[in-house]
Every structure is written in structure tokens, then in C-alpha cells.
Amino acid sequence: MNTRYVVLIATVLALALGAGPGWAQGGPGQAQKLGQNAVTVQNAKADADAKQNAVNTNAPVTIAGGSVFGGSSSANQAASNAAKALAGNAAATKQTANATQVGGSSSCKAGCGGAGQFQAVGQNAVTKQNAKADADAKQNAVNGNSPVTVAGKNVSGGSSSANQNASNTAAAAAGNLALTSQTANATQVGGSSSCKAGCGGEGQFQAIGQNAVTAQNADADADAKQNAVNANVPVTIAGGSVFGGSSSANQNASNMAAAAAGNAALTSQTANATQVGGSSSCSLGCGGAGQFQAVGQNAVTAQNAEADADAKQNAVNANVPVTIAGGDVFGGSSSANQTASNRALAAAGNLALTSQTANATQVGGSSSCSYGCGGAGQFQAVGQNAFTFQNADADADAKQNAVNANVPVTIAGGSVFGGSSSANQTASNAAGAFSFNLAKTLQQAFATQVG
């Protein structure tokens, strides 16, 4: 960065906030000071915790000296667990300063001293935002079907169904929005005079300082942990034959974690400084009017967006029948199906739009001076400084352990007739992460001097 800009901005801010009236003095002095200071501090935090322990147990125990005829057995469980958290901050800061000075009129004819004018406009806006959202969903779903049958004769098993549907979701969102607008309009118009000879020019001075600081932090965490166990473990001991009915152990487990964090900062700075020299009918020995302008703009934007999504799933679907018979074993159809889905999504983004516009115009006054005329001094300095810091971090972790076990154990004194067995498993696991930064900085400076 040019050293002249640094010195200029520091000088302008110092003058705007605390300069003395000893600048550009001619005759009668005019001084204006406008100071604006806005400080906004925001903190938004949202926590959502959903913990679920769902246990559905079917554990009948049957002991008989004769035959046992089992009816249909159904152990169904539907467990749903969700946690959602949302935190947001919105800050709108607007500062407008209008300073106008108009020089007076004088009928002084000779040896007139000019009027001194001074303006200082200072604006300072500080915005700090922090948004944090945490969503934790923990689920432990156990669906157990463990019948124990002991009989001296035959065992005729009815149909057995142990179905489990487990759903677990955690979602978190955090966002910050800061709108900072600063507008300063400073106008100085020199007076008119009918001074004829020995007229001194009027001094004009302007200083406009703008400072905007925006700091944002958005953090979103979503954790979804699921432990789904669907167990079908029948134990059958019979002195005669065992006739097994159909057995179905189906499990559908879904686990998802999503997190989103975003920051948006819109900073606009506009400074308009206009100086127009006065008119004079001075004819001889006229001194020129001195004009001075300084416009400084400083914008600092710091953004950090972090999104973490963790989805952990442990899905176990076990079909482990144990059959001991003195006679024959006739196995019915067995189906152990498992569908497990696990997803983790994370998104983090930053958006910074910084616009700086400075218009500085100096127009020298008009004079009908013919002899001994002194020239008008004009000075302009326009400095613009914009810093943008952005960091976007997105992490998505999807961990899945899907086990679908069909482990029958059969011990028979006679023959074993096995029915159809189907053990299907569909496991889906996905992790997605997206992070982006977008910064647009526009600086425009227009400086015009007309002698």
C-alpha cells in the first residue's frame, strides 16, 4: 500500500474526531464537527439435544411336557429422533452526516480579509457478530426377539417377524448478516464580496473520515449418532420334530447430519466533498482563495465460516436361530433384510461486498481582478483502503458399520430340511463438503480541480 494513503487516512481520522479550529483562518472563522460512533455486539446461540433410548423386547419363555404350537409373533419398533437448532444475527447500521457551510456577503470596499471555513466529519462503525448452532441427535434403538421354547414333544413354530424402522436426524444452521452504510456530504460555498482593492481570499478546509470494521463468525455443528440393533434369536429344544415357520427380520436404518454456516457482509462508503470559491468584484491587489480537501476511507472485513457434519451409524441386523431336536428339523423360509443409509452434508460460505466511492470537487471562485492578482491555491487528497479476510472450512464425515448376519445353528437326531434363506443387505454411505469464498472490492475515486 502507498505510504501516502496510510498517512492520509490517519490524518483525516484524527482531524475528523479531534482537530482544533486553527485551520484555514482568515477573518471570521466558521467551524463544524460531526462525529458518529456506532457499536453493535451480537451473540446468538442455539442448542438442541435429542437423546432417545428405545427398547422393544419380545422374550417369551415356554416350557411344556407336551407339544408347543406357537402362534404368530411380531415385534415391531418405529423410533424417530430429531434435533434442530437455528441461530442468526442481523445488524443494520446506517450513518449519514450532512455538513454545509455558506460564506457570508460583505460590502467591504478595501483591505477586506477573507472568511475562514473548517469542516470535519467523522464516522466510525464497529459490528461484531457470533452465531453458533449445535444440534445433537443420539439414538439407541434395540428391537429384540428372543423366544426360548423347551418341549418334550414336537414344536410347531408360527411365523415370526421382527421389524425395525429407525430414523435419526440432526440439523444445525448459523448465519450472520451485517449491513453497514456510511454517507458523508460536506459542502462549502464561499461568500460574495464587493471589495474593490486589497482583498484577501478566503480559506476553506474539509476533512471526511470513514471507518468500518466488521467481524463475523458462524459455526454450525451437526452430530447424528445411531446404534440400531434388530436381533432375532430364537432358541428351540424339542424331543420330537421341529417345524419352523417363516422368519423375517427386516431393518431400515436412516441417519443424517447436516450443517450450514454462512456470513454476508455488505459495506458501502460514500464521501462527497465539494468546495466552490466565492465571487468577488475585486480589481486591484486581490489575493487568491486557498482550498484544501482530504477524504479517507477505510474498510476492514473479517469472516470465518465453519461447518462440521458427522454421521455415525452402527446398524446390526442379526438372525441367529438355534435349533436342537431329537427328530427331524423342517426349516421354514428365513429372510434377513437390511437397508442402511448414512449421509453427512456440510456447507460453509463467505460473501463480502465492499464498495468505496469518493467524489472530491474544487471549483475556484470568479474574480474581475485586473492587476496584481494572486492565484488560488488548491489541494486534494483522496485515500481508499480495503482489507478483506475470508476463511471457509467445510468438513463432512460419514462413518458406517453395517452388519447383516444370518447364522442359524441346527442339531438334529434325524434329517434337516432347510427352507429358503435370504440375507440381503443394501448399505449406502455418502459424505459431501462444500466451501466457498466470494469477495468483490470496488474502489472509485474522482478528483476534479477547476482553477
User: Of the ranges 13-22, 106-115, 305-314, 359-368, which one carries the lowest mean pLDDT score?
Assistant: 13-22
Task: Say how many Å lie between the first and final Cα of the chain, rounded.
Answer: 30
* 3 state SS of 4: helix
What is the domain partition of the chain in residue ranges?
3-19+30-73+84-102+111-189+199-276+287-298+307-365+377-450
Output the pLDDT for position 268.
Answer: 92
Strands 68-69 and 204-232: unpaired
pLDDT digits (tens, 9 = 90+) for 114-159: 778 888 888 888 888 887 888 787 888 778 888 888 888 887 777 7
**Mean pLDDT value across residues 78-93:** 76
Output the pLDDT for position 406.
Answer: 79
pLDDT digits (tens, 9 = 90+) for 295-354: 888 888 888 888 888 888 888 888 888 888 888 878 778 777 888 788 888 888 888 888
Asked whether the predicted pLDDT for residue 20 surpasses 60, the reply is: no
Instruction: Name 370's bridge partners.
Output: none
User: Which amino acid would we find at residue 289?
Assistant: A
Q: Answer with the residue of higher pLDDT: 230 or 4.
A: 230
pLDDT digits (tens, 9 = 90+) for 116-126: 888 888 888 88
CA dihedral 398, 403, 404, 406 (to 10 degrees): 180
pLDDT digits (tens, 9 = 90+) for 253-262: 888 888 888 8
Output the pLDDT for position 404.
Answer: 80
